[in-house]
Amino acid sequence: MAKGKPSQAETSACRLYLVTPPVLEPAAFAPRLIDALDAGDVACLQLRLKNCSDDDVRRACDVLRPIAQDRDVAFILNDHPRLAHEMGCDGVHVGQTDTPYRDARKIMGADAIVGVTCHDSRHLAMVAAEDGADYVAFGAFFPTATKIAEHHAEPEILHWWSELMEVPCVAIGGITAANCAPLVTAGADFLAVVSAVWDHPNGPGAGVRALHAAIAAAPKVWTTITETDEADAD
């Protein structure tokens, strides 16, 4: 997801969409971000800070945005379209209880990336795509410690979406190198990851490399287990 709008035409492979920890000190986090982004292909970095002031967000953008953009990694701000526009971010990500997509688009402009959380809802995803969202995000697929997950999605929704729509889809929620294969095979265009990179025991760069290896090793053909298949197995 280089600068500008993401599209499936950019690459046929599933790519990484990094999300920052909810709490960070920008100067201390910067070397860790460099380690992650220099370890391999990353499409996007979302700055997602919680319980902090607008000035805290501005300071984080000032430090981290150039690191991402200098490496052709799109810099996305979570929740705050006005701040995203003010700080020169490449886009904004909005949830269902944040600024509505259409308002975010007016603030950000036609050329910015605007992504929308759609939980496990096909309807919400269809509405977002029809309104013009640049990507839709489904999840949570697995338990996550970064936020309380009120919705649980299954890989099948990624397969359904990828077969039907050209708008890219992002899978999010507890994704690691150990569990991402079904999401890749199902058709996720991007894997949004947090702890799998920033909490990797060997550092963020090792986390990125582990995820790339897992993506490359994922089965290429999507299969589903039907009730008939389960009966035959018995």
* DSSP-assigned letter for residue 152: -
**CB burial class (10 A; 0-12, 13-18, 19+) of residue 186?**
buried
Q: How many helices (H) and strands (E) does the chain have?
A: 10, 8
Taking the alpha carbons of 216, 154, 123, 102 in that order, is the dihedral positive or negative? Answer: negative
Long-range contacts (CB closer than 8 Å, 24 or more residues apart) made by 74-77: 74/1, 74/2, 74/3, 74/4, 74/6, 74/43, 74/44, 74/45, 74/113, 75/44, 75/45, 75/47, 76/44, 76/45, 76/46, 76/47, 76/113, 76/115, 77/46, 77/47
Sequential pLDDT tens for the chain (234 residues) = 433 344 333 335 899 999 999 999 999 999 999 999 999 999 999 999 999 999 999 999 999 999 999 999 999 999 999 999 999 999 999 999 989 999 999 999 999 999 999 999 999 999 999 999 999 999 999 987 766 667 899 999 999 999 999 999 999 999 999 999 999 999 999 999 999 999 999 999 999 999 999 999 999 998 864 333 443 444
Cα separation, 178 vs 224, whole angstroms: 20
Token pair, residue 3, equals 């600068």
pTM, two decimals, is: 0.90
As beta bridge partners, residue 93 has 78, 115
Cα separation, 90 vs 103, whole angstroms: 16
Cβ-contact 170, 136 below 8 angstroms? yes
